[in-house]
A and B are shown apart, each in its own frame.
Chain A
Amino acid sequence: MSARDSAPKSPRDEVFTRVFDAHWAAIRHHIEGVVADDAVVTEIVSEVFFRAWTRLNPRRPMGRIWLLRAAERAVKARVRRPATGSSAAAAVHAGVGGEQSVPAAGGSGVVLRALSVLPERERRIIVLTYWDGLTVGEIAELSRTSATRVRKALHRAHEHVRAALRSEGVIVDD
């Protein structure tokens, strides 16, 4: 343990440390789902937690949903930023995967292609559900919508993924 680590922390630092340690993996995991370049992922994760630091209320620290919302905004801002020589935007997948997706072995590539043709809203719900492990209620909170609407969108997304997989020769409904 370094001298810095053993130095007494302020209450704000203590709270931020807890927030960071508890959610760093989930936020990084989420961003890795849509961004291929690890260096860019690291930048965005830093951006999200820097924002968290500036917004931190030690009495009511933010949770995973707040951080995911910040991550989504940060990723979206990168995607929208014109290609000012930044490889960042180029490295960001078009939603999920797409032509520049992470090379995926075997069936993963087929599934990523199937996801890439979904409407953005449905693709997002699939990612949040199956990759980030959020519940319907958590997705509803993140999206500021009702659980019923999330369930319906998830059901539609399933149908669309099935259809897309079928077109790739993968049958999951027979």
Chain B
Amino acid sequence: MTESALLERLIADADPARTPLDADPDPRALATRDRIMRDARAPRRRRAVIAGWASGMAVAAASVAVAVAVLVPPGVAVAASPSPLEFEASGTTAQIIGDAQTALAAYDGPLEAERVVRSASWSFSVDMGTYETTVVPQLITITWNPDLSGRTVAIEGVPYDPTDASANVGSEISSSGEVAWELEMEPGQFTTPVVDMPGSTQADMQAVLAAYGLPGEPSAADVTTAITSVLGQWTLTNAQESEMLGILAETGGAEALGTTTDRLGRPVTALRVQAVDGSASDVVLLSASTGRIVGVERTNLVEDGPFPSGAIISYQLWDVDEGVL
């Protein structure tokens, strides 16, 4: 036996798998197969479609009318903001983006860009009498049309006290089921720089980002800001998201953070992008399953009014499953 054959034999013999490669499905597997066809078909059809691209389904934050950020009156000392996410180091920036692009290519997303966005965000609610604050997550759905009419519905999440350590540990979002507000927009009332989404080439996406404010020779922060704006109004295809990630990678300004779970309980990988002036940094969250851009969180890096350095001052999460709303 040659040394190469011996090595190959040793490796093959170490295979820990218990199921032979040519085995027939066992009765339990056949039951699983039949259950998938039975359960996934009729009653859960709608759910399955959503899961298809909405664990994937992108959605988004805000139009101009609903750009939820942090609304705190001047002079109000804010006790705390949501806890920062904790990351486990995993891979370089190139690997994280490469893995995301691989997943984007492997899985189906929307067939075409859609004028629908479902997002999760949050704001502070401040009692002006007591100055007590609570963090109020919101789940927002925006739909709009080529004639620039549309509708926005915001559902309140369950609020929590930012000083309550136990409530703040995960800072996870759950829906209260109550509609906080609704906004109907007549034709022409919705404001957007891109009414008809172009194709999915890099040039197309460069043009879209430019329309949303991307300057020439952009920094990574510029790209992140523009992507956030686009995803606030559009659910993009996987190919379009992949090109956007490519444009972000080309800036060379994104830093690998690793893996974590976002505030909707989804496994994600993360990149950090710092503002050129050093005032804030954005954490870009990519779905570990689909590769899609599923969130951006902004962290204060210098003390700014009520917000200490290190405070999470906003987040927007996209691809929110309809079931969460």
Question: In angstroms, how far is the closest chain A Cβ from the Cβ of B265?
Answer: 8
Considering the chains assembled together, what is the distance between the CA atoms of A130 and B23 in angstroms? 17
Question: Are B11 and A130 in contact (CB-based, < 8 A)?
Answer: yes
Expressed in whole angstroms, the Cα–Cα distance for A140 and B49 within the complex equals: 30
A25 and B8 in contact (CB under 8 A), knowing A54-B51, A70-B106?
A: no
Partner of A50 from B40, B106, B267 at Cβ < 8 Å: B40
A-contacting residues, B1-53, CB 8 Å: 3-4, 6-8, 10-25, 28-29, 32-34, 36-37, 40, 48-49, 51-52
Asked if B269 CB lies within 8 Å of chain A CBs, one says: yes
Q: Which residues of A contact B37 (CB under 8 A)?
A: 13, 16-17, 53
The answer on a CB contact under 8 Å between A73 and B103 is: yes
Q: Does B288 sit at the interface, judged by CB under 8 A?
A: yes
1/0 per residue A22-46: CB within 8 Å of B? 0011101110110010100010011
Say which size band chain A's interface belongs to. 35 or more
Instruction: State whether A21 and B25 are in contact (beta carbons under 8 Å apart), knowing that A32-B19, A82-B88, A97-B16 are contacts in the complex.
Output: yes
Within 8 A of B (CB), among A111-133: 111-112, 115, 126, 130-133
Question: Is A81 touching B14 in the complex (CB atoms < 8 A)?
Answer: no
B283 to chain A, nearest CB (A): 16
B261 within 8 A of A: yes
A15 to chain B, nearest CB (A): 11
Which chain B residues border A108 with CB–CB below 8 Å?
13-14, 16
Asked if B251 CB lies within 8 Å of chain A CBs, one says no
CB distance B19 to A130 under 8 Å?
no
- When the two chains form the complex, which single residue of A33, A42, A102, A144 contacts B102, counting CB atoms closer than 8 Å? A144
Q: Which residues of A lie under 8 Å from residue B168 when comparing CB positions?
A: none
Contact call A42/B28, Cβ cutoff below 8 A: yes
In the complex where A76-B288, A158-B7 touch, is A24 in contact with B29 (Cβ < 8 A)?
yes
Q: Is the CB of A172 within 8 A of B17?
A: no
**In A31-89, which residues have CB < 8 Å from any B CB?**
32-33, 36, 38, 42, 45-46, 49-50, 53-55, 66, 69-70, 73-74, 76-77, 80-82, 84
Instruction: Decide yes or no: A55 and B32 within 8 Å by CB, A33-B17, A111-B10 being known contacts.
Output: no
Task: Knowing A25-B22, A45-B32, say if A130 contacts B8 (CB, 8 Å).
Answer: yes
- Give A131's nearest chain B residue, CB to CB: B15
Partner of A130, one of B12, B33, B106, B267: B12
Q: Interface extent on B, as a size class?
A: 35 or more
Q: How far is the CB of B12 from chain A (nearest CB, A)?
A: 5
Residues in chain A near residue B267, CB distance under 8 A: 77, 80-82
Interface class of chain A by DSSP: helix
Taking a contact as CB atoms under 8 Å apart, the answer to whether A104 and B17 are in contact is no
Residue in chain B with minimal CB distance to A171: B3
Q: Which residue of A lies closest to B37 (CB)?
A: A13
* A161 / chain B contacts, CB cutoff of 8 Å: 7, 11
Q: Which residues of chain A have a CB within 8 Å of any CB of chain B? A: 4, 13, 16-17, 20-21, 24-26, 28-30, 32-33, 36, 38, 42, 45-46, 49-50, 53-55, 66, 69-70, 73-74, 76-77, 80-82, 84, 97, 101-102, 104, 107-108, 111-112, 115, 126, 130-133, 144, 158, 161-162, 165, 170, 172-174
Contacts A/B (CB < 8 Å), 19 sampled? A20-B29, A21-B24, A24-B29, A24-B33, A25-B25, A28-B17, A28-B19, A33-B15, A42-B28, A54-B48, A54-B49, A70-B106, A73-B107, A80-B259, A81-B267, A107-B10, A112-B14, A131-B11, A172-B3
Other A-B contacts than A32-B18, A53-B40, 18 sampled, CB-CB below 8 A, are A4-B34, A16-B33, A20-B25, A20-B33, A21-B24, A28-B17, A29-B17, A30-B17, A33-B16, A42-B28, A54-B52, A74-B289, A76-B99, A82-B88, A111-B10, A161-B7, A165-B10, A173-B3
